[in-house]
Amino acid sequence: MENKGTKLLSGSIGKGIVSFAIPLFLGNLFQQMYNTVDSLIVGNFLGSDALAAVSSTGSLIFLLVGFFYGIAAGAGVVISRYFGAQDYDGLKKAVHTDVAFGLAAGVVLMIVGIVLAPQILNLMGTPASVLPKSTAYFRTYFAGSLAFVMYNIVMGILQAVGDSRHPLYYLIFSSLVNVVLDLLFVGVFRWGVASAAFATAISQAASAILCFIRLMRTQEVYRVSIPDIRFHPEFLKQIIGIGLPSGLQNSIISIANVVVQANINAFGVVAVAGCGVYSKIEGFAFLPITCFAMALTTFIGQNLGARQYDRAKKGAAFGIFCSVTLAELVGIIVYFFIPYFAASFDSNPEVVAISARQAHTEALFYCFLAFSHCIAGIMRGAGKSTVPMFVMLISWCIIRITYITATVHFIPKIQVVFWAYPLTWSISSVIFLIYFLKADWLHGYEQKLA
């Protein structure tokens, strides 16, 4: 049976990457709608304090889930490699090990998020006026951990074998469910900020179930059978070996962002709400970046598994060019239209002003973020996930935290915090560029397979 995922292994490189990336883009667009709809509806129906409560949990949520998402990304690399090499026995074992890992991780994440919510929010210096609402939102969100972890696991499996369409269909459905439930719970029933997180958990559970049914009913070689779901030590070792650095990378970035959020919290509720609004807008702006980075990881993994090294090189160059160009175009749009975007979340002029100030500091530097993410995606696809981990540890964590800690002490202005992002994006881009041009990363992979 000819698998549709072969479009990444043959034919036009540009067409293959773009056709794979477009559903990823649309999928990420609807994924971004989850928290954005929460903020949009909460801000308009419950006010700035409630919006600040939702916004203050964003970096913490990614801190806890980012590690497991990184492991899932590592699993995707392993699966795409076995798929490209047409090693279907290895592919089946990798898929079932990945599902077993997702089930265990979802339970652990749920317990950690529910138990530690108040302590973590207090450590971040969350304003006392929004702490109860932040805690309620945080705990409710993580009560649904198993649903969103399993969605990302099964979505990653489908994407690793070249199927980016079906996850998109299921995500569109669940996003519509989320919007309806948000309006119902928050706008009609007035159940408060926690109900927005509850709506998100329900909608993500719907998409996870649909994806899982797809994996169980497909006739392709990556079909999931419930009795076969278990840990295969050899494949778990491969998944952890590639995924652990990616997970640590996500955690490192999140820790730095938690420090940034703590500094923002010190400027008050309006600053928290304004930066929260910008982060939602920025999330949409980053979509071209993330979709090409994800597409490159799968493309590189499949083609290196099939030993098509020249095709992998050409695909890397094409993906970088597209992502950087699109990111800068989006950055220009955000720079000029940020007041209108921000006002749709919260009409408070002070909140809009904070959002605009942050956008005018960061938006024109999106090209550097795109370049860094693309190189990181290429390295993960090549099995070198420790490279982006160390680069981002240095630039996005150590340098970022050091800069904020030292500079804010002498210049206590929120603008100083905003500059942390473009400065560290630029530094990571320079390091990645030097590595990409000087290191013979592809040759190392050839030697390993020889």
Q: Is the pLDDT of residue 3 over 60?
A: no
What pLDDT band is residue 339 in, cutting at 50, 70 and 90? very high
Residue 375's pLDDT is what? Answer: 93
Average pLDDT score over residue span 358-371? 96
User: Which residues touch 292 (CB under 8 Å, ≥6 apart)?
Assistant: 17, 21, 319, 320, 322, 323, 326, 370, 373, 374, 377
pLDDT band of residue 358 (cuts 50, 70, 90) is very high
Higher model confidence: residue 30 or residue 277?
A: 277
| Chain centre distance of CA 271 | 24
List the structure tokens of 442. Answer: 């592809």
Of the candidates 204, 261, 197, the one whose C-alpha atom is nearest the C-alpha of residue 37 is 197
Average pLDDT (373-395) is 88
Per-residue pLDDT for 27 more than 70?
A: yes
Q: What is the pLDDT of residue 449?
A: 41
Between 298 and 100, the higher pLDDT residue: 100
| Predicted local confidence at residue 441, as pLDDT | 60
DSSP state of 363: G
Lowest mean pLDDT among 38-47, 150-159, 190-199, 392-401: 38-47
User: Considering only CA atoms, which of 74, 78, 97 is closest in space to residue 87?
Assistant: 78
Contact residues for 314 (Cβ-Cβ < 8 A; gap 6+): 13
Kindly state the average pLDDT of the residues 352-368.
Answer: 95
* Predicted confidence (pLDDT) per residue in 64-114, tens digit: 677 777 787 778 888 988 988 889 899 999 999 999 998 998 898 889 888
Mean pLDDT across the stretch 409-419?
A: 91
Ranked by mean pLDDT, the top range of 98-112, 184-198, 200-214, 356-370 is 356-370
- Comparing CA positions, the residue from 121, 125, 150, 116 lying closest to residue 133 is 121
Q: Provide the whole-model pTM.
A: 0.73
Per-residue pLDDT tens over the stretch 239-268: 888 888 877 777 777 778 778 888 888 898
Give the pLDDT band of residue 2 (cuts 50, 70, 90). Answer: very low
Mean pLDDT throughout 56-60? 68
Alpha-carbon gap, residue 151 to 204, rounded angstroms? 7
Q: What is the pLDDT of residues 188-203, one digit of tens each?
A: 888 888 888 898 889 8
Half-sphere exposure of 86 (CA within 13 A, CB side): 7
- Mind giving me the DSSP string for 83-141? HHTT-HHHHHHHHHHHHHHHHHHHHHHHHHHHHHHHHHHHHTT--TTTHHHHHHHHHHH
| Residue 442: predicted pLDDT | 61
With cut-offs at 50, 70 and 90, classify the pLDDT of residue 169. Answer: confident
Report pLDDT for 24: 80
At residue 450 the predicted structure's pLDDT band, cuts being 50, 70 and 90, is very low
Q: Identify the pLDDT of residue 227.
A: 93
d(CA 422, CA 411): 18
Distance CA 233, CA 271 (A): 48
Closest-CA residue to 164 (of 327, 25, 71):
25
**What does the pLDDT read at residue 289?**
84
Q: How confident is the model at residue 437 (pLDDT cuts 50, 70, 90)?
A: confident
Neighbouring C-beta atoms of residue 53, cutoff 10 Å:
32
Model pLDDT for residues 118-130, shown as the tens digit of each residue: 887 887 677 788 8
Burial class, 364, CB count within 10 angstroms (exposed 0-12 / middle 13-18 / buried 19+): middle
Q: What's the pLDDT band for 35 if we cut at 50, 70, 90?
A: low
- Mean pLDDT within 150-176: 85
Spatial distance between the Cα atoms of 62 and 400, rounded to a whole number of angstroms: 18
CB-neighbour burial class of residue 371 (10 A; exposed 0-12, middle 13-18, buried 19+): buried
Q: Above 60 in pLDDT, residue 444?
A: no
Q: Is the dihedral of CA 246, 83, 102, 215 positive or negative?
A: positive
Q: Which residues contact 112 (CB under 8 A, 6 or more apart)?
A: 64, 142
Q: What distance in Å separates the CA atoms of residue 89 and residue 81, rounded to the nearest whole number?
A: 12
Residues 6+ apart with CB under 8 A from 102: 72, 149, 150, 152, 153, 154
CA dist 331 and 329 (Å) reads 5
Categorize the per-residue pLDDT at 1 as very low, low, confident or very high, splitting at 50, 70 and 90.
very low
The pLDDT mean for the chain works out to 85
What does the chain come to in residues? 450
Structure token pair of residue 279: 């982060």
Most confident of 16-30, 363-377, 386-400, 427-441: 363-377
Q: What pLDDT score does 380 carry?
A: 85
Predicted pLDDT of residue 448:
45
Q: How far apart are CA 384 and CA 382, in angstroms?
A: 6
- Is 350 a residue whose pLDDT tops 50? yes
pLDDT: is 5 or 312 the higher one?
A: 312
pLDDT, greater one: 345 or 328: 328
| pLDDT over 70 (residue 386) | yes
